Amino acid sequence: MNLHYALAALALLAGTVHAQDDCRLDLSQSRLDFGLMKRASGPASAPERLLGERRLSLTLNCPQPSDMRLFYRALAAGTERLRFTEGGSYRVQVRDGVLDGRAVELGLLPAQDQAPAAVASTLTWRADHGIVPMYNGQPATGSSFSVQLDVSAWALDAATHVRDAVTWETEGLVDAPASGRSRALHLQASFAPAACTPTLSNSGTVDFGKLSIGDLNNDRDTPLPSRPLTLTVACDGPTPFALVMHDNRSGSATGGVDETAYGLGHDARGQKIGRYALTVDPALVTADSLPQMYRTDSTTSGNAWSGASATPIALGARSLLGFTATAGSTEGPNALQNLSALLTLNAVIAPLVDLDLSGEIELDGSATLEIIYF
């Protein structure tokens, strides 16, 4: 007889576990992608930007009336927002509750065993709070419970000032404690710097023609005639940017160490041929419809900027060069969409006594002009 009761009790326990296992918790979408955002899509009008809104449905179905409480597990970013990495937040609003085919209000539960702190047809789902169907002012059980979720995401404007493409990802967990079911909700958003296209006149080629030995100094540097070079920068929207130049013939410049001196390559004996610099005169720079441009530079990768000046300056390999319409400003570059600048290239040839004159010497300078976004 005792054995019979023991077996009956075991069968009853197994039946209970089986019923819980039959509950289903479903999200119509498990991954919400807010797409790619380019900062140049327009100037910021507020400290944060709405990335968008996504809608999905959440359902809990059980074979028999059950506890329908659902909790959302995520990191909070304020009272009614959830954390979307350090630079953003998102909100989950719950609406259109239906229990066993009947529209119900929703209760917001601060914790598992607490009474609802708020009851409404639409609620903001807070971190680690629950929602429960309400009927006649009381939490209700049932076999089928569904709600609609509106998920909105924001990014701080400062967080969108990226220099390289970046993707944000975060995850929240919808938890049905009574049934032991849970579903993960993944959120994703991508950010890219604005697309700016630089163009140099004559495809960036500067040709000094054929030089004669008689045109060069034997024991001192020979400066060559200056050459103009037009730079245009076209962005797909107003974008703060700066310029920096990289020497593709690094180590071949003559003279002392100077970040504005770029090499002209080596001769047949490996001797340095000379150097050149590329100078920007703010008076020869135009941008958008601004009346006058000033240059501002940074030796700290954009952490601090010099007072904006009209004085010409040579492009550097370590210093950033930006442009602003405000004289004396230390705020860094303005957001510009179209810029045109007439640059001046000045080259110097090493003394003939330092060169291999057994054959032709080809000037072989090469540099890359890079745009840095802010």
* Parts of the chain belonging to CATH 2.60.40: 23-192, 196-373
Q: What CATH number has the domain spanning 196-373?
A: 2.60.40
Burial of 338 (0-12, 13-18, 19+ CB in 10 A): middle
**DSSP string across 118-159:** EEESEEE--TT-EEEEEETTEE--EEEEEEEEEEEEEEEGGG
Q: Which two tokens stand for residue 66?
A: 């059950």
pLDDT in tens, the chain (374 residues): 333 323 333 333 333 334 445 899 999 999 999 998 876 444 455 789 999 999 999 999 999 999 999 999 999 999 999 999 999 999 999 999 999 999 999 999 999 889 999 999 999 999 999 999 999 999 999 999 999 999 999 999 888 877 778 999 999 999 999 999 999 999 999 998 778 999 999 999 999 999 999 999 999 999 999 999 999 999 988 889 999 999 999 999 998 778 999 999 999 999 999 999 999 999 999 999 999 999 999 999 999 999 999 999 999 999 999 999 999 999 999 999 999 999 999 999 999 999 999 989 999 999 999 999 88
Does residue 177 come out as left (phi exceeding 0), alpha (psi in the -120 to 50 range) or beta? alpha
Q: What are phi and psi of 4, to 5 degrees?
A: -60, -45
- DSSP character at residue 306: P
CATH class as words, domain 23-192: mainly beta
